[in-house]
Chain A
């Protein structure tokens, strides 16, 4: 049989292949030749064959049949065989294959070989793919080699020890005595690997960390020598002496100095020295500066040093090199939590980076911008961020949109600005907005009562042109359904009112229903909106009836159910339609962290298939409740009270019964806070299950005189240790003769559990004159604040 071809011939042959198929063919032919050669137990050429096999493996072809051959090569006495054998073992074998255990004995022998290169090979292989059993067996040998004076072996042994510790953490103590002298070496290779070993040990065990803190002075000295020493040709990289070792030492110093004042103090000088003396014209210098900055920010450094670090980052930001800008943005992101003010100084540069061409830089700049938004700069920042949203890549749009919503919610200077911002986001990135944004937006719109006309007008204009962006269409349909009357009547103070007729509005909603681009959920929104308009619009009720009846036979089950029930409303229960489809009351603010104290209401007994948003809360005026109680009493529709994911289901029953009489199931007695001139204000209390320092007070204002009280405004103030949140009232008119009440919800945060006290101010118009009164409420029951 002719001698198998050499590796380089094989590579040349494969290079000539023009297509993937040709290459595969050549490789298969060669594999077959190699396999037959292995079968013949050919010792002379085994080395060559395995080398070829490794090359083919690197190209992506299976090579598992070579594993045993590697073992045979390792066992051979020739150095060239051993070399290829160990290399093959590193590439082809790992602990998944059972074969690897056969190597243990070979490695053990080779670790004690007379030639250092063989020992080196064995150490290398063990450090690369040793399994935990192998490591346990051979750890003793490695430890012995760690103490040898031969620096070639010592550095390899150190790295092997790192791997052993990773695989078998319990063996860490075994290497402890050997580390004593490691840092005394002159050889940079040994120094470097020792620092790696120390880093690994410190990261794994806090005891080791405490033990190695005493090495800080020595590390500082080594670092100093590196910086101060002159040109050393062996270790020079672009004018800096062994930057890789410098970076490693800085990293170890970081780990040792974290949370420890003494070590941090010992490092202050050297860090300042590195920061000021390193040359920044080349990438090497910048790499070291970067590591220094990271270290300064992580340890307990003095403030002067921190300022120096942030200034370095600021300088990086202005650099032309993209890599450096990227690195600066990443580190600023890490430090913005702790050194907020210092980072704010660089805000304009960061915002400029939003316009950069590079994707990685843009992403970092976006995250950093969101972290920097605060009450003062929100308008300017939002303008930049909205512009960014317009022009950025699709992968950013979802994150950017969520970020903008969050920032707007926290820092919005006015409701109109907030709604404008949301509208802008919906129109530019509507399809990338997350699903939970839609209910949040709807709630926000409901709560800003004075903006309803403006909002619905803008939303209407937005979907007139284009109704493909689902979240936008959903919000728009909901608003049109609720406030369609405002839209058609053309009343809007903020903008030019548009001329929209009822038919035009219905046209839009119908096109949403028909369109192929609308998702099923969107269609549901549109159908319900059309239904609601039957009470708001006057001339087009027949058209609405027709639309609703068409969908009674829709294929979509959800739509069909809705349409059938709405149809039933038209036919059999027409007298209830106005009451059921009345405008939604103001919803209580729900925190975005999932189920919290949502005050349940019994009110909305519309068919269960209704909106997917959290159930509206707040008590409705008693008159409507009477209608609904009739409903409960004598109809065939089984009212399904929407079950909300709250932690207080008992409150639902409690509030229902509150309407019937002053039965309070929650156990805290209610009080009369104010009773003068015919105006009576009652407080009822609830404690939250999720947050024991929050008390929810529901006030009910009633009027026993013979004239209505209008423009009623309730204001409250509490002592400094409390926090108060006043939600929107149900209305501003208290009807006369106790025929109705205004309800309003107050949330009081009382973290110090102090006695609750409140001062209230009431303003209203009665009998043609403006009335105003101040009062103090002191009779809070102890259960409401303890």
Chain B
């Protein structure tokens, strides 16, 4: 099961976050900071799955943006890895250009409805 879905840039600023389990709001920022620190410390030829506390992180880097998904042990890690790419491709198609600053993403309010699509995909 997907626990959370994050898009964080290299400086640690959260561009998108969606939690599927209740996490206290102050804990969220801590979690995001830790997660991005772990992802930044990885080199290019290391595997994309990190074990973190009691779940796994699957991350993928697109230019200066990291997409990180937290999953538990019932998920197929590689399928989630593929899902991230699918998601980014969909956004790219829909908004014609995925820029690391995501200005294009937020330009359209209907982007928020994509969040509800992702909530389906969490299953």
Contact = CB atoms under 8 A, between A and B. Distances in A.
Interface string A141-168: 0000000000000011001001000000
A283 B123 contact: no
B95 interface: no
A238 B45 CA distance: 22
Contact of B106 (A8, A284, A325): A8
Nearest to A54: B112
A287 B115 contact: no
Contacts of B123: 159, 162, 193, 196
A234 B14 CA distance: 32
Contacts of B115: 87, 90
A124 interface: yes
A363 interface: yes
Nearest to A291: B76
A167 B107 CA distance: 36
A237 B82 contact: yes
B63 interface: no
Nearest to A96: B22
B54 to A, nearest CB: 15
Contacts of A162: 123
A87 B116 CA distance: 8
A557 interface: no
Interface string A245-273: 00100010000000000000000000000
Contacts of A325: 47
B3 to A, nearest CB: 14
A547 interface: no
A286 B78 CA distance: 8
Contacts of B14: 58-60
Contacts of A327: 49, 77-78
Interface stretch (A354-362, A610-618, A631-639, A726-734): A354-362
B79 A244 contact: yes
Contacts of A294: 76
B90 to A, nearest CB: 11
A247 B28 contact: no
Contact of A8 (B86, B107, B120): B107
Contacts of A54: 112
B109 A51 contact: yes
A124 B117 CA distance: 9
Contacts of A156: 120
A121 B78 CA distance: 30
Contacts of A51: 109, 112
A60 B26 contact: yes
Nearest to A325: B47
Contact of A124 (B78, B109, B116): B116
A632 B77 CA distance: 68
A156 B117 CA distance: 10
A598 interface: no
Given A8-B107, A124-B119, A287-B82, A363 B51 contact: yes
A358 B44 CA distance: 11
A290 interface: yes
Contacts of A243: 79, 82
A357 B46 contact: yes
B47 A322 contact: yes
A386 interface: no
B94 to A, nearest CB: 16
Prevailing SS type, chain A contact patch: helix
A357 B47 CA distance: 10
B106 A290 contact: no
Nearest to A12: B103
Contacts of A287: 76, 78-79, 81-82
A323 interface: yes
A605 B31 CA distance: 56
Given A287-B76, A323-B81, A360-B49, A7 B106 contact: yes
B17 A358 contact: no
Contacts of B28: 60
Interface in B101-119: 106-107, 109, 112-113, 115-116, 119
Interface in B36-60: 43, 45-51
Given A60-B29, A358-B46, A284 B116 contact: no
Contact of B82 (A11, A124, A283): A283
Nearest to A63: B25
A159 B49 contact: no
* Residue from B48, B86, B116 whose CB has the most chain A CB atoms within 10 Å: B116
A326 B119 CA distance: 28
A325 B47 CA distance: 9
Nearest to A15: B101
B69 to A, nearest CB: 14
B53 to A, nearest CB: 13
A83 interface: yes
Contacts of B25: 57, 60-62
Contacts of A94: 22
A322 B26 contact: no
Contacts of A323: 47-49, 77-78, 81
Interface in A332-366: 357-361, 363
A403 B102 CA distance: 48
B83 interface: yes
A284 B78 CA distance: 8
B42 to A, nearest CB: 8
Nearest to B73: A330
* Residue from B16, B43, B49 whose CB has the most chain A CB atoms within 10 Å: B49
Contacts of A59: 14
A247 B79 contact: yes
Contact of A159 (B29, B79, B120): B120
Interface in A642-694: none
A283 B47 contact: no
B21 to A, nearest CB: 10
Contact of B119 (A11, A58, A90, A286): A90
Given A196-B123, A284-B82, A322 B112 contact: no
Contacts of B79: 243-244, 247, 287, 291
A360 B50 contact: yes
Contacts of A121: 116
Contacts of A358: 46-47
A664 to B, nearest CB: 54
A80 B110 CA distance: 9
A324 to B, nearest CB: 8
A9 to B, nearest CB: 11
B76 A290 contact: yes
Interface string A224-252: 00000000000001000001100100010
A57 B112 CA distance: 14
A84 interface: yes
Nearest to B83: A244
B80 to A, nearest CB: 9
A284 B44 CA distance: 20
A128 interface: yes
A332 to B, nearest CB: 15
Interface in A1-15: 7-8, 11
11 contacts: A8-B107, A54-B112, A58-B16, A60-B25, A90-B116, A96-B22, A243-B79, A243-B82, A291-B76, A357-B46, A360-B46
Interface of A: 7-8, 11, 51, 54, 57-62, 80, 83-84, 86-87, 90, 94, 96, 121, 124, 127-128, 155-156, 159, 162, 193, 196, 237, 243-244, 247, 251, 283-284, 286-287, 290-291, 294, 322-327, 357-361, 363
Interface of B: 14, 16-17, 22, 25-26, 28-29, 43, 45-51, 76-79, 81-83, 86, 106-107, 109, 112-113, 115-116, 119-120, 123
Given A290-B78, A323-B48, A359-B50, 7 more contacts: A8-B106, A60-B26, A84-B109, A193-B123, A244-B83, A357-B46, A360-B47
